Structure 1
Amino acid sequence: MKQDVLSLIEQNYPSLSPSARTIANYLQQHPLAIVSQTSAEIAEHTNTSKATVSRFFRQIGFESQQDAKQAQLALRESGVPVLTQGSTIDQTAEELNNLSRTFEGLRPEVLNDISKQLAEASRVTLIGFRNAYPIALHFRQQLQQVRASIRLLPQPGQTLGEDLHDIIDGEVIVLLGFRRRTRAFKKIVETLKGRNTILITDPTGQVYNQQVNNVLVCHLGNDSPFDSYAAPMSLVSMLSNRVYRHIGKQAQRRTQAISGLYEELDELEP
Structure 2
Amino acid sequence: MASQTDLLGLIEQQYPSLSPSAQQIATFIQQHPIALVSKSTAEIARLSGTSKATVSRFFRQLGFDSHQQVKDAMLSMREKGLPLPTGEGESDHFQQEMRNLALTFEGLKPETIEQVVSLLADSQRITLIGYRNAYPIALHFRQQLKQVRSTVRLLPQPGQSLGEDLIDIPANEVVVLLGFRRRTRIFKRIVDALSDHTTILITDPTGQVYSNKVDHLLICHPGQISAFDSYAAPMSLISFLANKVFERLGDQALRRATQIAAMYDQLDELEP
After superposition, the Cα gap between the structure-2 partners of 1:70 and 1:251, relative to the gap in structure 1 and judged at 3 Å, is closer
Distance in 1 between residues matched to 2:137 and 2:235, nearest whole Å: 6
The answer for the alignment partner of 1:211 in structure 2 is: 213
Q: Does structure 2 conserve the Cα–Cα contact (< 8 Å) formed by 1:122 and 1:169?
A: no
Which of 224, 228, 232 is matched with 2:226 structurally? 224
3-state secondary structure, aligned to 1:131? helix
Residue of structure 1 in register with 2:105 after alignment? 103
One-letter amino acid matched to 1:106: L
Structure 2 residue matching 1:219: 3-state secondary structure: coil
Letter of the aligned partner of 1:122 in structure 2?
Q
Percent identical across equivalent pairs?
A: 59
The one-letter amino acid of 2:183's match is R
- Kindly provide the CA deviation profile for residues 97-133 of structure 1, in whole angstroms up to 9, marking residues without a partner as x: 0000000000112101110111000100000001100
Provide the C-alpha distance between the structure 1 equivalents of 2:101 and 2:48, rounded to a whole number of angstroms.
26
Contact 1:102 1:231 in 2 (8 A): yes
Letter in 2 for 1:250: Q
User: Paired residue for 1:20?
Assistant: none
Distance 1:216 1:68 in 2: 29
Contact 1:127 1:176 in 2 (8 A): yes
CA contact (8 A) 2:104 2:221 kept: yes
Unpaired runs of at least 5, structure 1: 1-65, 73-84
Q: CA deviation at 1:89?
A: 3.9
Shift, 1:69, TM fit: 7.2
Distance 1:134 1:168 in 2: 25
CA distance in 1, matches of 2:231, 2:48: 25
CA distance in 2, matches of 1:92, 1:178: 22
The equivalences for 1:248-267 within 5 A come to 248-267=250-269
In structure 1, C-alpha distance between the alignment counterparts of 2:231 and 2:193, rounded to whole Å:
27
- The structure with the larger Rg is 1
**Mapped pair 1:172 → 2:174:** yes
Structure 1 match to 2:186: 184
Q: 1:120 to 1:261 in 2, by over 3 A?
A: same
Q: Does 1:160 align with 2:162?
A: yes
Give structure 1 regions of 4+ aligned residues with deviation exceeding 2 angstroms: 66-72
Q: What are the residue-to-residue correspondences of 1:53-202 with 2, within 5 Å?
A: 71=49, 89-202=91-204
* Alpha-carbon separation, structure 2, partners of 1:89 and 1:175: 34
For the structure 1 residues 213 and 68, does the alpha-carbon distance in structure 2 shift closer, same or farther, using more than 3 Å as the test?
A: closer
Q: Which residue of the partner structure matches residue 239 of structure 1?
A: 241
Does the Cα contact within 8 Å between 1:218 and 1:232 map onto a contact in 2? yes
User: Structure 1 length normalisation: TM-score?
Assistant: 0.68
Aligned length: 192
Contact 2:130/2:177 (CA < 8 Å) preserved in 1?
yes
Give me the whole-angstrom Cα distance separating, in 2, the residues matched to 1:193 and 1:244. Answer: 28
Alpha carbons 1:197, 1:214 under 8 Å: kept: yes
Residue identity matched to 1:151: R
The one-character-per-residue Cα deviations of 1:49-108 (angstroms, maximum 9, x if unpaired) are xxxxxxxxxxxxxxxxx9997659xxxxxxxxxxxx99x841000000000000000011
CA gap 1:166/1:71 in 2 versus in 1, 3 angstroms: same
Report how far residue 169 of structure 1 moved. 2.6
